[in-house]
A = this chain, B = another copy of it.
Amino acid sequence: MAGREQCSMFLSRVNFRIEKKETEVIFLKTFYPTQVSRAKRGEATPQMEAVARDEEIAVEDVMECLADGTAVVPANANRSNLSVRGIGRGLKVKVNANIGTSEAFPHLEAERAKLQAALSAGADAVMDLSTGGDLKAVRSMVLEETPVPVGTVPVYEAAVLARQQRGAVLSMQEDDLFEIIEDHARSGVDFMTLHCGLTLGALEQMQKQGRLMGIVSRGGALLAGWMKSREKENPLYERYDRLLEIAGRHDVTLSLGDGLRPGCLDDASDRAQLQELLVLGELVQRAREAEVQVMVEGPGHVPLDQVEASIKTAKSLCAGAPFYVLGPLVTDVAPGYDHIASAIGGALAAAAGADFLCYVTPAEHLGLPGPEEVRQGVMASRLAAHAADVARGHKGACRWDREMSRARRSLDWWRQLELALDPELAGELYDKLNPGKREECTMCGPYCAIKVAREL
């Protein structure tokens, strides 16, 4: 499509309605040229084409899912050199790695090491959740050095600012929060977690029923604290149109956070969680109407027998929006092994329809992870994502397993190591366990089933 045509098409669909509300000007019903609006209008962007190549599907399929909101391609309009990832229906399940400083570990260099660990382990996206040290410097570094989509949770920065400037995390200012969101959007952040569905109604629901762990989402707790101490509605809900406007302008993908996600098995799938989810469903619809890319976040801690129902209910309530889960952890008792608890829940969740897995590291529930924990977390989530891809019948995923099995059948060790999920670790273990490097491995030796079968 020629530039001139694009321009006139864009202008034709921009529809300003300026309204003065308190001190801010909100632009409503403003259609920006997001990936969604382009897909809806039949324009195949370079990002959609890259996704189609990566997934070995037709670009028309990518466009269809973007247009109907069942897939997103997080790609901030201000980012360059982004290696995009598609997330949603018909696409491979993707893996996000959370990094970021904390007050106890505020150093940029440590985050760089974790970022490199996440990327070399194969993360499809990285979220910078920093709350310590120079937040802007860390975010700049992450945006500069990350080829894949980058996400943030702007409310953290608002809480840090409040504590620095006013001495208390709950003294956050609404306008600061929106300015921080806009600043993140301008700087190139591709997707943002925003807990827009955490309403006073959902909090009331939670209080009425009672909970073992209460709120465990950090962003959720900050917002709930702010709301309850002021008896005011969640600004991210009340001023959602403003969010849509910012997101549309920069093509930021909204990731609607679940502030009331269950923090233990006992709290899973309760009324509070579902109440928030109902609101998130509405907000998905409004984002789609505004042609803003949107996905929805999910739990959390969920007993294994509830995972499938939990995901299917959420997907249904949110009209098939891409679903992004943190875990879910299928037990509360596994600190040090939460990457495995999360791999179990994540694989099941993704097989049931979740599209994006946020990794959990072995450091979860214990402290801020270091590079080694980051690496283990990404690998466990990639394994879960791949197992779900196979279950979802993704051709490329099934081919990978088949090729590995062929290499195994022919005892071709070089090829097996090359095809491994983590060639580096597999190679190290193979070398350690096979000092003699014979055709068969040291487990079975001359009793190797493959060799016995071959001799017949």
Q: How extensive is the interface on chain A, given as a class?
A: 35 or more
Contacts of A386 in B (CB 8 A): 331, 333
Chain A to chain B contacts (Cβ below 8 Å), 18 pairs? A104-B434, A105-B442, A159-B447, A169-B446, A221-B452, A224-B456, A265-B398, A303-B390, A304-B388, A332-B402, A333-B386, A335-B429, A341-B383, A341-B387, A366-B429, A366-B441, A368-B442, A370-B433
B363 in contact with A405 (CB, 8 Å): no
Q: Mark A253-275, 1 if CB is under 8 A from B, else 0.
A: 00000000001111000000000
Contact with B along A193-224 (1 / 0, CB 8 A): 00000000000000000001111111011101
A383: B residues at CB distance < 8 A:
331, 334, 337, 340-341, 344
Given contacts A334-B421, A386-B333, A433-B370, contact A452 B303 (CB under 8 A): no
In the bound assembly, the distance between CA atoms of A351 and B390 in angstroms comes to: 20
Taking A333-B400, A340-B380 as known contacts, 14 extra A-B pairs with beta carbons closer than 8 A to each other, sorted by chain A number, are: A213-B450, A214-B409, A220-B449, A224-B453, A264-B404, A304-B347, A304-B388, A331-B390, A336-B426, A337-B383, A341-B387, A366-B429, A367-B430, A368-B441
For residue A170, which residues in chain B have a CB less than 8 angstroms away from its CB? 452, 455
Asked whether any CB of chain B lies closer than 8 Å to the CB of A317, the reply is: no
User: In the bound complex, how far is the Cα of B444 from the Cα of A160, in angstroms?
Assistant: 11
Q: Is A148 an interface residue (CB 8 A)?
A: no
Does A102 reach chain B (CB closer than 8 Å)?
Answer: yes
Contact of A365 with B by CB under 8 A: yes
Decide if B265 touches A102 in the complex (CB within 8 Å).
no
Partner of A420, one of B212, B336, B351, B390: B336
Q: Is A416 an interface residue (CB 8 A)?
A: yes
Within 8 A of B (CB), among A400-442: 400-402, 404-406, 408-409, 416-417, 419-422, 425-426, 428-430, 432-436, 438, 441-442
Contact indicator B333/A420 (Cβ below 8 Å): yes
Residues 133-147 of A, flagged 1 when their CB comes within 8 A of B and 0 if not, give 000000000000000
A228-B456 in contact (CB<8A): yes
- Whether A131 is near chain B, meaning CB under 8 Å from some CB there, is yes
Question: Using Cβ atoms and an 8 Å threshold, which residues of chain B touch A384?
Answer: 344
* A321 neighbours in B (Cβ, 8 Å): none
- The answer to whether B444 and A131 have CB atoms under 8 Å apart is yes
Tell me whether B332 and A405 are in contact (CB under 8 A).
Answer: yes
Nearest B residue (CB) for A438: B104
Are B156 and A416 touching (Cβ within 8 A)? Answer: no
Cα distance, A392 to B392, chains bound together (Å)? 26
Q: How far is the CB of A29 from chain B (nearest CB, A)?
A: 36
Asked if A325 CB lies within 8 Å of chain B CBs, one says no
Cβ–Cβ < 8 Å partners of A131 in chain B: 444-445, 447
Distance (Å) between the CB of A44 and the closest chain B CB?
A: 32
Chain B residue numbers with a CB within 8 Å of A332 are 401-402, 404-405, 408
A449 to B391 CA separation, bound complex (whole angstroms):
35
| Chain B residue nearest in CB terms to A427 | B336
Interface pair B303/A330, CB less than 8 Å apart: no
- List B contacts of A380 (CB < 8 A): 337, 340
Q: With A304-B391, A333-B420, A447-B131 in contact, do A229 and B441 touch (Cβ < 8 Å)?
A: no
Contact across chains for B421 and A351 when beta carbons are under 8 A apart: no
Does A248 sit within 8 A of B, measured CB to CB? no
> Complex formed: what's the CA distance from A428 to B378 in Å?
21
A429 contacts across to B, CB distance below 8 A: 335-336, 362-363, 366-367
Shortest Cβ distance from residue A376 to the other chain B in the assembled complex, whole angstroms: 9
**CB of A245 to closest CB in B, whole Å:** 28
Q: How far is the CB of A102 from chain B (nearest CB, A)?
A: 5
**A290 at interface, CB cutoff 8 A:** no
